[in-house]
Amino acid sequence: LSDKLKGLMKKVSGQSTLTESNMQEVLREVKLALLEADVNYKVTKDFVNRIKEKSLGSKVIMGVNARQQFIKLIHDELVEVLGGQNVSLNPKNNNKQNIIMLVGLQGAGKTTFAAKLSKLSKKEKEKVILIGADVYRPAAKRQLQVLSEQIGVEFFTINDSNDALLIVKKGLEKASDIEATTIVIDTAGRLHIDETLMKELEDIKAMASPTDILLVVDGMTGQDAVNVAKKFNETLVIDGVVLTKLDGDTRGGAALSIKEVSGKPIKYISEGEKLDEISKFYPDRLASRILGMGDVVSLVERAKDAIDEKEAKLMEEKFRKNQFDFEDFLKQFKMIKRMGSLGGILKLIPGVNLGDFDMANAEKEMKKIEAIIYSMTLEERRNPQLLKVFSRKNRIAKGSGVEVADVNKLLKQHENMKKMMKMFNSGNIPGFGKFPR
Ligand code: GDP
Ligand code: MG
């Protein structure tokens, strides 16, 4: 491998074993990341403690350094806390209708989300009706009507009424008339939770028997969002949460706290003012975002898939006995290939700035090496000593379409690798730690 690549690999590889001290260091970072992402302090503390317990006794996977593996463990735990899987809407009542009631503070994004959800549902071939029952803000009904026209779904409100209950009642009648399959009810919010609002929402709930009461919370409000979720859930018993404004620079840590505190799943996230900017909530994506760690997770997963455990063990054995030959070299290449392109792999590692690193050249280099090894006889691959003979080198160079100098370079690299392995086996390599046994 080229020197540049080697340097890069060294930079990203860090510790190869998980020790008490580097674990502490990573945990500190994670704690900071969580607090920075606006996760509640107590939730953070409990979380980190759970990780500590779980990580003792976890095994290091070959090919992925311990630190990354540890972060993966943390990530998985986060996913778990966030609910594991995506949770969809509850089933329709009598197989007929989804009645989705949106609640939340003023400005949280209810009306916007009502429109987004309607658009999404329409795409999924639902017959949608939007009911505008926000009687508190003067322009609210009109706002929803305009949105419904934009999307092309049915809309119902009573313009000159401020009786939210009546609007919902009539709206549901219309929904039945037109055989709507998805009914979205937009309700009023307040700047702060108050009795009148809660009473109104409870009444609507009792009358409409929604299949889902979704609490819409502004993801940027952090800790406040947690208190809001707690209060709404206590009074209304919500079915799920919608986290909005995740397009801002918030990392979405509120989600973690909300799930911990309310025990209710986050079902959707809203990531912008445009009507398409809605997604179902996937815990793994948010977990990565909270940790702010690029895509280490998919890297580790790919490595796990690509690396045959048995093969890895065998390779380790060879490393130790210093028998690593060109056949093994080829096998390693194949593993890397199975993980995807070299560029793709490096890009997944956070903190790696590829900058002026010549990716195309590195991949070309790898192909060249592969070609050279393919031009060796099996005997030569297994016994690199044979390659000291010039005529063999010459033959291989011709066979693989390279210069003899390239073959020499590869032999030199192989020598260096063997030397490195010797160091591994003898104990410590600066920056690498002891090779896992
Ligand atoms: P409501 O009072 O709960 O109905 O909130 P609205 O739906 O009227 O939204 C309040 C403001 O937040 C509006 O200016 C929306 O455009 C904006 N908004 C809603 N959802 C999002 C989002 O996901 N991202 C961003 N950037 N803005 C949003
Ligand atoms: Mg509104």
Q: Which ligand 1 atom is the nearest neighbour of the CA of 106?
A: 2
CA–centroid distance, residue 186 to ligand 1 (Å)? 13
Instruction: Please report, in tens digits, the pLDDT of each residue of the chain (437 residues total).
Output: 344 444 444 444 444 455 666 677 778 877 887 787 778 888 888 888 888 887 766 655 555 566 667 777 888 888 888 888 889 999 999 889 999 999 999 999 999 999 999 999 999 999 999 999 999 987 999 999 999 999 999 999 999 999 999 999 999 999 999 999 999 999 999 888 889 999 999 999 999 999 999 999 998 887 778 888 989 999 999 999 999 998 776 667 778 888 888 889 999 998 888 888 888 888 887 887 777 655 555 556 666 666 666 676 776 677 667 777 888 878 777 767 666 666 666 655 544 555 666 767 777 888 888 899 999 998 999 888 899 999 999 999 999 999 999 999 999 888 877 776 666 556 544 443 343 33
Q: Which ligand 1 atom is the nearest neighbour of the CA of 216?
A: 3
- Given a contact cutoff of 8 angstroms between Cβ atoms, the answer to whether 313 and 349 are in contact is no
Going by CA atoms, what residue is nearest to atom 12 of ligand 1? 109
Which segments of the chain belong to CATH 1.10.260.30? 1-14+307-427
Q: Which ligand 1 atom is the nearest neighbour of the CA of 219?
A: 23
CA–centroid distance, residue 273 to ligand 1 (Å)? 6
Q: Which ligand 1 atom is the nearest neighbour of the CA of 244?
A: 23
- Does the CB atom of residue 72 touch ligand 1 within 6 A? no
- Residue 337 has, within 13 A of its CA and on its CB side, a CA count of 11
Which segments of the chain belong to CATH 1.20.120.140? 19-57+64-86+282-293
DSSP states of 323-365 as a string?
Answer: ---HHHHHHHHHHHHHT--HHHHHHHSTT---TT--HHHHHHH
Residue 246 labeled ligand binder:
yes
- Does the CB atom of residue 109 touch ligand 1 within 6 A? yes
CA–centroid distance, residue 191 to ligand 2 (Å)? 12
Burial class (CB in 10 A: 0-12, 13-18, 19+), 274: exposed
CA–centroid distance, residue 312 to ligand 1 (Å)? 51
Q: Which residues are within 5 Å of ligand 2 (an ion), measured at CB?
A: 110-111, 140
CA–centroid distance, residue 310 to ligand 1 (Å)? 53
Q: CA dihedral in degrees (87, 88, 93, 98; nearest 10)?
A: 140
> How far is residue 148 CA from its own chain's centroid?
32
Spell out the residues 6+ positions from residue 429 whose beta carbon is closer than 8 angstroms to its own: 420, 423
pLDDT at residue 277, as a whole number: 86
- Does the CB atom of residue 271 touch ligand 1 within 6 A? yes
Residue 112 labeled ligand binder:
no
Which segments of the chain belong to CATH 3.40.50.300? 98-281
- Does the CB atom of residue 189 touch ligand 1 within 6 A? yes
Query: Pocket of ligand 1, candidates 110, 112, 244: which has the most ligand atoms within 8 Å of its Cβ, to mutate?
Result: 112
- Given a contact cutoff of 8 angstroms between Cβ atoms, the answer to whether 54 and 77 are in contact is yes
**Radius of gyration over alpha carbons of the chain, in Å?**
29
Q: Which CATH superfamily is domain 98-281 in?
A: P-loop containing nucleotide triphosphate hydrolases (3.40.50.300)
CA–centroid distance, residue 271 to ligand 1 (Å)? 10
Residue 106 labeled ligand binder:
yes
pTM: 0.66
Which CATH number describes the domain made up of 1-14+307-427? 1.10.260.30
Which CATH number describes the domain made up of 19-57+64-86+282-293? 1.20.120.140
Going by CA atoms, what residue is nearest to atom 6 of ligand 1? 109
Residue 206 labeled ligand binder:
no
- Residue 236 has, within 13 A of its CA and on its CB side, a CA count of 33
Q: Which ligand 1 atom is the nearest neighbour of the CA of 271?
A: 23
CA–centroid distance, residue 107 to ligand 2 (Å)? 7
Q: Nearest-CA neighbor of 103 among 8, 181, 198?
A: 198
ipTM exceeding 0.90?
Answer: yes
Residue 111 labeled ligand binder:
yes
Residue 312 labeled ligand binder:
no
